[in-house]
Structure 1
Amino acid sequence: MKIPSKQLLDDLKISTEQNLKFAENLLNETDEKLNFRPSEKSWSILECLEHLNRYGNFYLPEISKRIKNSDTKPTEIFSTGILGNYFANSMLPKEKLNKMKTFKSMDPIHSKLGKSVLNEFISQQKQMILLLKKAENIDLNKVKTSISISNLIKLKLGDTFRFVIYHNVRHIEQAKRNLQ
């Protein structure tokens, strides 16, 4: 897939701003509602966001470091990598959500959680928006990032942004279903 770099970053910024607004609105909900679990094996709203925070704790510093250390110039067009495109597209929410296994370290089920999870998520989304703005000044094709499951696999920065933000959207949709 080829997409103008600016359009990609703008689209991802809009998604992140929507996730941020959703989380800010959750601050008005009761702890009971935020911790409600539809079934024993499904996540509560706070567990969904804690899961995202755990990934954010890896990806935000990784992205930040790669942007800071880049001396590339921005390019007009971003071309997805084969692996990066696969990972990113697998995260997009679908009509009938395909369930995925998560790593034990990233699974917050049955954790005792409070609104500090929301505050951390809100902070992470604000950081992501700043990183998306900084990324306008570098080459999304040439800058590579490690991924959370292996330092041996590197993705183009544009694909990493897509993966992380689509993953956020996926679990925000899950959290929204819990609100109903």
Structure 2
Amino acid sequence: MKDEAFIREILQRGNLAKEKVQASFGHLSFAQLNWKPGDENWSIGQCLDHLIVSDCLYFPSLKKIAEGKFEMNFWENWNPLSGLFGKMFVDQIQEIPKKKLNSPTIFLPAKSDIDGVILERFHKHLDSLLDYIAACTHLDIDKIHITSPVSKLVTLSLRRTIALLIQHEHRHVNQAIKVIHAKNFPAL
């Protein structure tokens, strides 16, 4: 069904993520953005890069949907497990993690230092994501299904995809904020 209130709420939450990023990281140095609390942990820059990398894998489908050119394939139309997978994914990717999850390889950020313009790249990227979401205001977001970049077997409704993407933004923005509060975080 069309759900303008849902889209408005999602857009507000997306803008909140952007504001949190600017307020929390806008004053940090290149070294601070790339500092890692440990070998197995991501830096602030890597958290933001991960969001860009993972979201961009959804962009081809979202762009076609926004332009009215998206056509569901057979599996997207008839996958009997779409609701189950969608609910499972949204439940797993909570803003405040219940447990640590390993990201699929295709979603991993750069292993080296992230460039000094990561904040600008993140803001431009998030603006694009929010534009695609805004274009869905008058669409039946429960009827449209897209394939997950993780597996061709997994399809999600557009509603669940949008919710997942914005929850994912907040999850990793919150993760990046924790880096600032980690022991030995470099001073300004």
Structure-2-length-normalised TM-score:
0.80
Deviation at 1:6, TM superposition (A): 2.3
Deviations 1:56-115 (A, max 9, x none): 2111222121232259xxxxxxxx933212211211133x64111112332236322123
Mapped contact 1:70–1:143 kept (Cα < 8 A): no
For residues 41 and 133 of structure 1, the distance between their equivalents in structure 2, rounded to whole angstroms, comes to: 36
Unaligned regions of 5+ residues in structure 2, if any?
Answer: 72-81, 182-188
Give 3-state SS (helix, strand or coil) of 1:37's partner: coil
Residue 55 (structure 2) aligns with: 56
Residue 143 (structure 1) aligns with: 144
Give 3-state SS (helix, strand or coil) of 1:155's partner: strand
1:13 aligned onto 2:11: yes
Give 3-state SS (helix, strand or coil) of 1:145's partner: strand
Mapped contact 2:85–2:155 kept (Cα < 8 A): no
Select 2:85's aligned residue among 83, 100, 103: 83
For residues 5 and 180 of structure 2, the distance between their equivalents in structure 1, rounded to whole angstroms, comes to: 31
Between stretches 44-53 and 97-106, larger displacement belongs to 97-106
**Cα gap change, 1:130/1:44 in structure 2, threshold over 3 Å: closer, same or farther?**
same
Residue 130 (structure 1) aligns with: 131
Unaligned regions of 5+ residues in structure 1, if any?
Answer: 72-79
Structure-1-length-normalised TM-score:
0.83
**Cα gap change, 1:4/1:138 in structure 2, threshold over 3 Å: closer, same or farther?**
closer
For residues 151 and 67 of structure 1, the distance between their equivalents in structure 2, rounded to whole angstroms, comes to: 21
Deviation at 1:152, TM superposition (A): 3.2
For residues 123 and 155 of structure 1, the distance between their equivalents in structure 2, rounded to whole angstroms, comes to: 25
Residue identity opposite 1:156 in structure 2: S
Give 3-state SS (helix, strand or coil) of 1:108's partner: coil
For residues 56 and 70 of structure 2, the distance between their equivalents in structure 1, rounded to whole angstroms, comes to: 21
For residues 111 and 131 of structure 2, the distance between their equivalents in structure 1, rounded to whole angstroms, comes to: 32
**Cα gap change, 1:165/1:141 in structure 2, threshold over 3 Å: closer, same or farther?**
same
Mapped contact 1:34–1:44 kept (Cα < 8 A): yes
For residues 134 and 107 of structure 2, the distance between their equivalents in structure 1, rounded to whole angstroms, comes to: 27
For residues 61 and 70 of structure 2, the distance between their equivalents in structure 1, rounded to whole angstroms, comes to: 12
Mapped contact 1:67–1:138 kept (Cα < 8 A): no
Query: Between Structure 1 and Structure 2, which shows a larger proportion of strand residues?
Result: 1
